[in-house]
Structure 1
Amino acid sequence: MRVVQIKLLILSAILSVSSMQSARAAEKEVKNASHDEHHVHAGHSGHDHTRPDSHAPIGVSGDHLMRKGEIMLSYRYMSMAMDGNRIGTDSVSTPLAGYMVSPLSMDMEMHMLGGMYAVSDKLTLMAMLPYTSISMDHRVNMSGAEFTTESGGIGDIRLASTYGLYAEPGTDLLFNFAINIPTGSIDEEDNTTGSSEVHLPYPMQLGSGT
């Protein structure tokens, strides 16, 4: 009986050691797999996509590369409201001396559709299409009559690319190149104080013309 008990104890100890070794091996495999996955995420650049702060705010573009084949779509809404007139930092009363018409306020809304596509791990392409609505309130200096001019439509399309020049963990050196295609109108017209439409000033135009 003692011999049998000793053999059972030895067998139990062997099984226990074997079980511990298997558990350690499994734990090591999990760690290696996690490390490999992290390497896949950050291997093509110094950018770590697994971090919650891996992307810059939506207003900042060209801050990182995407992995080959990835597609990203975005929508941005921007609003701007201006009121009153200034010369430098000094407020100017209305009506403006020497002018027939004085601007009172101007509101602008922009809807921006964007798309990004990674041609490779080192090259990401981007395109942005804006739709802009602008309105401006005016006052005729002599009569005090007020009127509003409006314009709206597609603005200038922006095409850009980001190329990775150098990368190591935590560091990226990127080259950004962008061009604007003058698709926005520079011939917007509207009624002012007369019955016929006139060419609106530059701030009311949808494109840059260049």
Structure 2
Amino acid sequence: MRHDDIWRAIDTLAAERGLSTSGLARSAGLDPTSFNPSKRRAEDGRLRWPSTESIAKILAATGASFDAFAALVRGSRSLAHSRMERVKRSTIPLIGLAQAGQDGFFDDAGYPAGAGWEQIDLPSANAGLADDPLAYGLTIQGDSMEPVYRAGDVIIVSPSAPVRAGDRVVARTRSGEVMAKLLARRTARRIELASFNPDHAMRAFSPGEIAAIHRIVWASQ
């Protein structure tokens, strides 16, 4: 069990309820800053772990079982439908692709966070995304994905969807760059991201350079 696994599970638990980590802490009667990224490491770099009491309180507040939380710690991307009623919604958050690379728009687990997001209606063709509390939208900027995606197109991204080679994805690097690409290849040592536009070269990264890769499930063309 790793430090990052515990915090990712808390982030996911919050997202399952349509909450920020501050909202989750508040709903459990905790200090709203209890789960903030700044509280996860001390100033000298030492790891800080959530207390068993705080975990017990957020489980009670959300109705999640300890087994369900343990599954998140082990790497499950979401809680089972039978363990927690998902929050259905008719809108999803939306920002520009370039804006998505700025600090404050995603939490450490790669899920939408903070203020500054607009809201757009879910397209009727993807009504199933009402069950996905992690889905978000991005407005395409640039020409690297032409002619498939053009500047101004809106894409919807589902962090809960499985990702395989050949999928169209949004990748976010740990340095803050966010890009819409084609996942060409993914191994234990190398991630290759391709553009549809031949004027843009293949991008290659080590897995440690990538913070998140989420699948594109809908586009507005």
For the aligned pair, the TM-score class normalised by the smaller chain equals under 0.3
* Superposition TM-score, scaled by structure 2 size: 0.22
More helix by share: 2
Point out the structure with max Rg over C-alpha: 1
TM-score by length of 1: 0.23
Structure ranking higher in strand proportion: 1
